[in-house]
Structure 1
């Protein structure tokens, strides 16, 4: 809502000033980005011939915790694909006083342990390579900074991988991740389980299909008796958007117009946004909100979600620069 208000105010101001874009500017409003995103999927299909999408619900800047001054600005050019896979084991069951050699819960647990120990091959895209190279310059932890630079130079660097994989804030940036999020099994305290299920939640690195990741998990589970099913809802695989020079030039000009010299870093999101529908259709989509917050005050999706009032004037000036440069 904050970004929508600023963007509309900026467009009204441009109209008042007599600005006439060479390219058509189409404004898309959707009310379900935080839920099903069905509206965005429908609208994306209607706008599949667009040259570029500016997603004002992604990206943004970070304020220093102590000074409150802008520390860096990130724009979004990719996001990992969300996927849920359901694993199921069935068994004839029986009474707990007469145990069988094969137990559905034990069988599923053994597979989950193997999956939990599995690590997908680390990888880089042009966007994440640029992220690691630029973010390393701002990193205050010297070991992490060195690992970021080493990984950007060689994604097979084992020492760098170990350092980054051990950091919850970094492991999702170096490749696909899959974790067990739910387990269910059994129907009575004194009965052998006839059914056991688990959900594996994956965040898939751009360029891989959910089917290929599910196939890899099946190989790792190494038990043909376990059924796998893709139960994902509301997500589509999408590639990274290209690092277009016209976009990055306009973006850096806009952000430096309000915050001179501020570091600008490309980023890949681990969560989903409506950009995925456009990218899946081949339309470059870039997240570039001018909202700045402290990490400690980032309450996205929370009841106390908010933004500093100090963002308003710089945000409008940012759009007054960015929108004309991308549409003239």
Structure 2
């Protein structure tokens, strides 16, 4: 909290922004939905179709006690629901000084959070030990953390890159052998998309020992693994190949990747709502590098999209604010979102 310019739980309004933890992940989406619902209730307006509003806890921890619980124990609450929109997309991304992409999520990477355990031989810290659990686990984590997975262009990613190239007037060959050189033609758009070009695995936690002069017989660590739709087994096989023989793994949270086609009346309505409010906006399909409650609702055969309708200032580094210091959302962006969502509910 000391690193923040405002108290992180104050909800302070300053300099045209609403500041606070969760402002963009994802209280902004909640605010837009609630404000739209309030407007419909106050004016007596009826949406074009029946809408179920679901506000759920536990998404950051995988949704075990939120969305997944409801899908497993109370699926009747969603009877007749064929499509869903939530967080994860529909925010603006500056293409240049005047034009913006609006990546609408229609895919997500899967979640593979795992715990690694190294079993070794306990001993005194002053003695040689070639079965040191800390050493074996550290080496395994280093191999995982420094590994670069191969590029796998799934359809939503390919479509976004192709549209960005068209808008920029760039001749782009997405089947080129040297894909990195091709993507470099897109400048900052390529940087924005790096996170969804491949699987990933990052060590995040390490626990071992209780005393400086004692070599522990056991060490554990956590790894955040993510996989693209259709590439789960590649992630698992790669992790297993990188682990030393003394290191085993088990799942902490293992959830699906998802993808739906970028078509149909709802997609058309989302795109139309954005274009109506921002003529320089260009909706495109998008793969969310993380995950949302959509993973649960997909199991009910509900087509899920990420769409918050948020217009952002070009100088705001939106991606770095997620779970970050000085998280904030522009007030005008929220007002824009309510206008977009109102159009969507009226037309979808």
**Cα offset, 1:53, TM superposition:** 0.7
TM-score, scaled relative to structure 1:
0.78
1:318 aligns with 2:340: yes
**Cα offset, 1:26, TM superposition:** 2.0
Which residue of structure 1 aligns with residue 17 of structure 2? Answer: none
In structure 2, list runs of 5 or more residues that go unmatched.
1-29
Classify 1:36/1:204 alpha carbon distance in 2 versus 1 (closer, same or farther; 3 Å).
Answer: closer
**Cα offset, 1:173, TM superposition:** 1.2
Q: For 1:64 and 1:123, how far apart are their aligned partners in 2?
A: 25
Q: For 2:210 and 2:90, how far apart are their aligned partners in 1?
A: 48
Secondary structure of residue in 1 paired with 2:35: helix
1:132 aligns with 2:161: yes
Classify 1:73/1:168 alpha carbon distance in 2 versus 1 (closer, same or farther; 3 Å).
Answer: closer
Match of 1:217 among 234, 239, 242: 239
**Cα offset, 1:130, TM superposition:** 0.8
Which residue of structure 2 aligns with residue 58 of structure 1? Answer: 88
Q: For 1:66 and 1:135, how far apart are their aligned partners in 2?
A: 11
Q: For 1:20 and 1:66, how far apart are their aligned partners in 2?
A: 35
Classify 1:287/1:105 alpha carbon distance in 2 versus 1 (closer, same or farther; 3 Å).
Answer: same
Q: For 2:175 and 2:226, how far apart are their aligned partners in 1?
A: 24
Which residue of structure 1 aligns with residue 316 of structure 2? Answer: 296
Q: For 2:346 and 2:199, how far apart are their aligned partners in 1?
A: 37
**Cα offset, 1:6, TM superposition:** 3.0
Which residue of structure 2 aligns with residue 192 of structure 1? Answer: 215
**Cα offset, 1:78, TM superposition:** 1.6
Secondary structure of residue in 1 paired with 2:340: helix
The 8 Å contact of residues 179 and 200 in structure 1, kept in 2 or not, is answered as yes
Match of 2:257 among 234, 238, 253: 238
TM-score, scaled relative to structure 2:
0.74
Match of 2:54 among 16, 28, 31: 28
Classify 1:133/1:162 alpha carbon distance in 2 versus 1 (closer, same or farther; 3 Å).
Answer: closer
Secondary structure of residue in 2 paired with 1:293: coil
| Residue correspondences, number | 307
C-alpha offsets along residues 157-187 of structure 1, whole Å, 9 cap, x if unaligned? 45449969xx874432111101122223333
C-alpha offsets along residues 246-302 of structure 1, whole Å, 9 cap, x if unaligned? 233212211111112422122211222212211243311111112222352644556
Which residue of structure 2 aligns with residue 229 of structure 1? Answer: 250
Classify 1:98/1:153 alpha carbon distance in 2 versus 1 (closer, same or farther; 3 Å).
Answer: closer
C-alpha offsets along residues 116-161 of structure 1, whole Å, 9 cap, x if unaligned? 343333212221111111234567xx9xx77xx34x335x645449
Which residue of structure 1 aligns with residue 113 of structure 2? Answer: 84
In structure 1, list runs of 5 or more residues that go unmatched.
none
Which residue of structure 2 aligns with residue 178 of structure 1? Answer: 201
Q: For 1:311 and 1:266, how far apart are their aligned partners in 2?
A: 21
